[in-house]
């Protein structure tokens, strides 16, 4: 897919690729149905290409908020999807219990009503399905810097750090977009976090700008006494929806 080819962010990530392969191998229904929530997500990190080479088939749909950047990307890549949904993520008609996997990356940090949006994505999963979630962390130094920078500066920095990736999207970062918020959400919904990881995703090039951003993030972390950490900027989760919707997490 074209969205999976954008920039260095598109490399395979074992954190997602390995549990996805395990799920696909044991999935009784073929083709495996996947919903990509957030059109700029680097689909290649799921390792779909390797799975396709091994003979597995996928049906891939996409959904995103009605935003000019999202519309531009989806118009460029529409032929890569079986279906594309654009609209208010609180009301756009996403079929329930249709998808084996929902891949949500680079989305919840830029939308409002995060828990409602996640509810709709979880509802779209079949029992036993996987939610692969990648998000920036509200309480990282990089996220605070992103919120503080004036619009023109944000756009200039983004275009140099991510020259092949559309953006930047508007800054939202609701309070639940953090590890504590996501953990609380999964607990309240009876979901199981199978794996989690924090990553530093700031590109190394251009070297001068990257170094300046890192130094600024380190200063933010020190000035806030670690409340806004520079140890990571993104959070990754493999979340499993129980087969039994009345199952309790112990």
* pLDDT tens string 233-242: 999 999 999 9
Q: What is the pLDDT of residues 170-184, one digit of tens each?
A: 999 999 999 999 999
Give CA–CA dist 65/56, Å, rounded: 30
Stated pTM of the model: 0.91
Q: What is the pLDDT of residues 18-62, one digit of tens each?
A: 999 999 998 877 899 999 999 887 788 899 989 999 999 999 999
Spell out the residues 6+ positions from residue 223 whose beta carbon is closer than 8 angstroms to its own: none
- The pLDDT of residue 74 is 85
Q: What is the pLDDT of residues 84-99, one digit of tens each?
A: 999 999 999 999 999 9
Is residue 250 scored above 60 in pLDDT? no
Give CA–CA dist 136/97, Å, rounded: 27
Give CA–CA dist 21/166, Å, rounded: 28
- The pLDDT of residue 108 is 97
Pick the CATH number of 2-137+166-201+234-240 from 1.10.443.10, 3.40.1190.20, 3.40.50.150, 3.40.50.11260: 3.40.50.150
The overall average pLDDT reported for the chain is 90
For the chain, give every domain's residue range.
2-137+166-201+234-240
- Cα 228 to Cα 31, 158, 216, 221, 232, distances in angstroms: 42, 20, 12, 5, 10
Tokens 């998808």 correspond to 99
- The pLDDT of residue 79 is 80
Q: What is the pLDDT of residues 127-152, one digit of tens each?
A: 999 999 999 999 999 999 999 999 99
Calculate mean pLDDT across residues 208-230: 96
């Amino acid at each position: 897919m074209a969205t999976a080819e954008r920039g260095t962010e598109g490399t395979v990530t074992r954190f997602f690729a390995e549990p996805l392969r395990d799920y696909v191998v044991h999935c009784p229904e073929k083709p495996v149905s996947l919903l990509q929530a957030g059109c700029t997500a680097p689909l290649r990190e799921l390792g779909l290409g390797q799975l396709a080479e091994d003979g597995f088939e996928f049906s891939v749909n996409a959904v995103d908020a009605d935003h000019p950047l999202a519309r531009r990307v989806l118009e460029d890549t529409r032929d890569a999807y079986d279906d594309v949904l654009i609209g208010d993520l609180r009301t756009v008609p996403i079929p329930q219990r249709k998808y084996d996997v929902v891949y949500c990356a680079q989305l919840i940090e830029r939308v409002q009503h995060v828990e409602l949006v996640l509810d709709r994505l979880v509802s779209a999963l079949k029992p036993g399905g996987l939610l692969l979630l990648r998000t920036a962390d509200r309480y990282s130094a990089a996220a605070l810097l992103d919120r503080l920078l004036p619009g023109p500066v944000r756009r200039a920095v983004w275009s140099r750090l991510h020259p092949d990736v559309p953006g930047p999207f508007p800054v939202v970062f609701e309070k639940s977009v953090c590890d504590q918020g996501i953990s609380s959400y999964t607990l309240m919904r009876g979901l199981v976090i199978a794996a989690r990881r924090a990553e530093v995703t700031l590109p190394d090039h251009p070297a001068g700008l990257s170094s300046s951003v890192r130094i600024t993030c380190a200063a933010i972390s020190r000035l806030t006494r670690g409340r806004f950490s520079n140890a990571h900027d993104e959070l990754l989760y493999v979340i499993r929806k129980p087969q039994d919707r009345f199952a309790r997490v112990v």
